Amino acid sequence: MNPLAWIFGLFLATLIGAVFFIVRPSKSYRMFGLCILVSWIGFAAGHFIAEGTGFRLWTAGALNLGGAVPGALIALVLLRLLALKEWN
């Protein structure tokens, strides 16, 4: 992957994490940073799992968005479920 794909991926994952935090707000602003971090990790994991299995649904250059976006969303939902006490 070239550097522009990495930058675009980080931007998109950050946007997904920020929108998730806005839609599901928390009283703790530490959760905002955690949402961004978990979104980056889930986005990268989803991309590499999709690339490894040969799943090509929606691509943007070298970036496999068909696996990356669901990976980020699944990671954020898991964060929400695991951090219920901290979230409220």
* pLDDT for residue 85: 74
DSSP 28: -
- What's the pLDDT tens digit per position in 9-24? 999 999 999 999 999 8
Q: What is the mean pLDDT of residues 22-40?
A: 89
For the stretch 42-83, pLDDT in tens is 999 999 999 999 888 888 888 889 999 999 999 999 998 988
Distance of alpha carbon 21 from alpha carbon 27, whole angstroms? 11
Q: Is residue 88 over pLDDT 80?
A: no
Closest CA to 79 of 27, 39, 22, 51: 39
